[in-house]
Amino acid sequence: MSHEVTTETLHGLMAEFDNPTDLVEAANRARVAGYTAMDAYTPFPIEELNDALGLKKNPLPLIVLLGGILGGLGGYMLEFWTQTIAWPMNIGGRPFHSWPHFIPVTFECTVLGASLAAFVGMLALNKLPMPYHPVFNVAAFDRASRDRFFLCIESTDPKFDRHATASFLENLRPLGVSEVAP
Amino acid sequence: MAGPQHPLQQPPDVAGAAAAREALLSRTPAVIEPGHTFGSVTDKISSIVLTHRTPVGWFLGFAVGFFFLMVLNITIMKLLFTGIGIWGNNIPVGWAFDIINFVWWIGIGHAGTLISAILLLFRQQWRTSINRFAEAMTLFAVACAAMFPLLHTGRPWLAAYWLFPYPNTMGLWPQFRSPLIWDVFAVSTYFTVSLLFWFTGLIPDLATLRDSAESKVARRIFGVLALGWRGSARHWQRYETIYLLLAGLSTPLVLSVHTVVSFDFAVSQLPGWHATIFPPYFVAGAIYSGFAMVMTLAIPMRKAFGLEGFITMRHIHNMTKIMLVTGMIVAYGYMNEVFYAWYSGSLYEGFMMTNRMTGPYALFYWSLIAINACMIQLFWFRKVRDNIGLLFVLSLLVNVGMWLERFIIIVTSLHRDFLPSSWDMYAPTRWDFGMFTGTIGLFLSLFFLFVRLLPAISIFEVRTLVPEARLKTAEHQG
């Protein structure tokens, strides 16, 4: 079932499962066994993996908040500067700084800033776009976007050993274990 | 714990709750046909894109759309060479078809965001199989809508400095106290955020297509678009975070967009426009017409591509119910308008209402009342909600009804305003219809291309509906 890669250095070892329950259990056991540098690959988000893999909370909510604040401030400053400093105009006798009129655009700019921050922040933290990644070298990995669930223990893990880790993964009763070329 | 509880208040995995859920499920059609697996879901949805055979019906539909797209091209050419005099717009009816169609299209877009964002926040699982194409519908509808104000300027190349705040050589800036500028910001933000939300949802599905396409070119194209997505748990965690945040941001946004559109009217002093009911009444009308359009598109699509297993009767029922609720809010708005025309004691408000009901456009007024207030009462009946053919006809009629509503609001208020000496009638010309049918052509062409080239149903989210996706045993440890 396992297939050998001839190079000396590996990206890691990858076990394949056909359902999310087995994958989460495998990830839990790997974490308990002391592995830290590992990742799971699944065709849809599985919330339980966050704990199983020991993932930390991500800073995206903060990034989105900052994006929103910047957008809102930017929108308001634009209105303030153009309407009171750059070219003040008397519109129906209202004050130049008639702030209630500036709220709709400020709101829209807040949402725009926050949404752009969310999208760009997610891609940046995920280091996407990434045209090449070692996991794609595994033949069966095509099905990670379809109906298979993978657990990869990476060679950067201090506990990683080509043979010991492979037999550990085999003990988790996967469909197969593959070596991942770098 | 005796006595019946609301299903949502019951703790999960309690025997009584499970039984109650079973009972509820046996009465409601499922959100996904039983028997599907992760693989079958993936194959079924991606096969529409990856197959080499294009159905004949697709070509026919696209041909109709493309024909009217060409009508749009010709109309725009004629418009740019001649000017907006080719339309029926006059003084006093200066807004006419442009703003009617603008508001109509923007309203249609709103259902897409409601389905993708608001129903996600409310954890309505049934949204999953209709959100993708509803979002696409939003994008295309907003694109159609944006053409009208832009071309209404007659010289769209000048519209740049009228509408957008950029440092031009004249040192001019837009006038930020005008609701028309709020509109520019609302609509462009709406389009951008909808696009981001839509594309974010597409990334994992593009990866699926990249991995299952047979043709090299297709693998390459989908590969570039998928940005190297590999389904890593770390990525999914961040992805889920921003997907929820984008939903949370889109929710107030979508409500703000039609509110701002209604400000175009409400901030003016014209009888029939200057009303505080406008923002909620417009938002409800937008959602109502948008769901009608989702139905109009979903019913033929599920039939043509055999997607009845994903867009089930549950979806049809729920959409009908939402149309019933929002339609009645709209009907309440009509009643409110009549009440305030009387209660305000204003001569002009009162005349505006009499003119709507008995004036030259009375037929349109009563048609819209017949559709939006009376006809939708049919949705109370389960027999009607089960009848797909009838629902298709009714949803088309709702689209017509909502178009008539905008016609009545805009034309009757403008054509007989304060001074009888400036009264006039409005009639559209064939170029008006060229623009209107042309944007329908643009919408249809884009929609047909979308259905054929991208997954019209969110594959990765439908996978989560497969029973296997729920973890077995008590693995939910903290």
- Express each pLDDT in B43-66 by its tens digit: 999 988 988 788 888 999 999 999
Chain A nearest C-alpha distance from B242 (Å) = 6
What is the model's pLDDT at position A6? 52
Contact call for B239 and A126, based on CB within 8 A? yes
When scoring B164, B166, B177 by the number of chain A Cβ atoms within 10 A, the one with the most, hence best to mutate, is B177
Interface list for A 3-42 with B (CB within 8 A) = 19-21, 24-25, 28, 39-42
* CA–CA min distance B298, chain A (Å): 25
Q: Do B464 and A44 touch (CB under 8 A)?
A: yes
Instruction: Give how far B472 is from chain A: nearest CA, Å.
Output: 6
Chain B CB contacts of A128 below 8 Å: 227-229, 235
- Inside any domain, residue B32: no
Which pLDDT score is estimated for A180? 93
| pLDDT level of residue B4 (50, 70, 90 thresholds) | very low
CB-based contact B253 A79, cutoff 8 Å: no
pLDDT in the model for residue A38: 93
Distance from CA of A83 to the nearest CA of B (A): 7
Contact A88/B at CB under 8 A: no
A85 touching chain B per CB within 8 A: no
Contact B232 A40 (CB under 8 A): yes
* Mean pLDDT rounded to a whole number for chain B: 90
- Shortest CA gap A162–chain B (Å): 22
Q: What is the pLDDT of residues A39-78, one digit of tens each?
A: 999 999 999 999 999 999 899 999 999 999 999 999 999 9
- Per the domain annotation, does B463 fall within a domain? no
The pTM score is 0.91
* Residue B338 token pair: 């009549």
- Verify whether the Cβ–Cβ distance B192 to A143 is below 8 Å: no
Q: How confident is the model at residue B335 (pLDDT cuts 50, 70, 90)?
A: very high
Q: Is residue B469 part of a domain?
A: no
When pLDDT is cut at 50, 70 and 90, the band that residue B2 belongs to is very low
Residue B247 lies in a domain: yes
User: In which domain, by residue range, is B304 found?
Assistant: 54-457
Q: What is the mean pLDDT of residues B132-144?
A: 94
The structure tokens listed for A173 are 């009763």
Q: Is residue B40 part of a domain?
A: no
Kindly identify which residue of chain A lies nearest to residue B226, measuring between CA atoms: A129
Q: Between B232, B256, B461, which is nearest A41 by CB?
A: B232
Chain B residues lying within 8 Å of A145, measured CB to CB: 204, 207-208, 210-212, 229, 231
Average pLDDT score over residue span B164-171: 88
The count of domains in chain B is 1
In a domain, B7, yes or no: no
pLDDT over threshold 80, residue B128: yes
Candidate from A89, A118, A126 with C-beta closest to B245? A118
HEC-encoded secondary structure of chain B? CCCCCCHHHCCCCCHHHHHHHHHHHHHCCCCCCCCCCHHHHHHHHHHHHHCCCCCHHHHHHHHHHHHHHHHHHHHHHHHHHHCHHHCCCCCCCCCHHHHHHHHHHHHHHHHHHHHHHHHHHCCCHHHHHCHHHHHHHHHHHHHHHHHHHHHHCCCHHHHHHHHCCCCCCCCCCCCCCCHHHHHHHHHHHHHHHHHHHHHHHHHHHHHHHHHHCCCHHHHHHHHHHCCCCCCEHHHHHHHHHHHHHHHHHHHHHHHHHHHHHHHHHHCCCCCCCCCCCHHHHHHHHHHHHHHHHHHHHHHHHHHHCCCCCCCCHHHHHHHHHHHHHHHHHHHHHHHHHHHHHHHCCCHHHHHHHHHHHHCCCHHHHHHHHHHHHHHHHHHHCHHHHHCHHHHHHHHHHHHHHHHHHHHHHHHHHHHCCCCHHHCCCCCCCHHHHHHHHHHHHHHHHHHHHHHHHCCCCCHHHHHCCCHHHCCCCCCCCC
Domain containing residue B293: CATH number: 1.20.1630.10
Contact B472 A21 (CB under 8 A): yes
Structural domain includes residue B14? no
Q: Is residue B27 part of a domain?
A: no
List the single residue in A98, A126, A143 with the smallest CB-CB distance to B177.
A98
Q: Does A48 reach chain B within 8 Å, measured CB to CB?
A: yes
The pLDDT tens digits for B398-445 are 999 999 999 999 999 999 989 999 999 999 999 999 999 999 999 999
Q: For residue A42, list chain B residues with Cβ-Cβ distance below 8 A.
A: 231, 233, 236
- Whether residue B212 and residue A136 make contact (CB cut-off 8 A), yes or no, is no
- A with B: how many residue pairs have Cβ under 8 Å apart? 205
Yes or no, beta carbons of A146 and B39 under 8 Å apart: yes
Instruction: Report the pLDDT value the prediction gives residue A5, as an integer from 0 to 100.
Output: 52
Q: Is A118 on the interface with B (CB under 8 A)?
A: yes
Question: Which residues on B lie below 8 Å from A89 (Cβ)?
Answer: 175
Q: Collect all residues of chain A within an 8 Å Cβ-Cβ radius of residue B186.
A: 104, 108
Measured between beta carbons, the chain A residues lying within 8 angstroms of B253 are 108, 111
Question: Residue A126: closest CA among chain B residues belongs to which residue?
Answer: B235
Residue B321: its pLDDT value, please?
Answer: 95
What interface predicted TM-score (ipTM) does this complex get? Answer: 0.93
Q: Using a CB–CB cutoff of 8 Å, tell me whether A116 touches chain B.
A: yes
Is pLDDT at B383 greater than 90 in this prediction?
Answer: yes
B249·A115 Cβ contact <8 A: yes
Q: In chain A, which residue's Cα lies nearest the Cα of B222?
A: A131
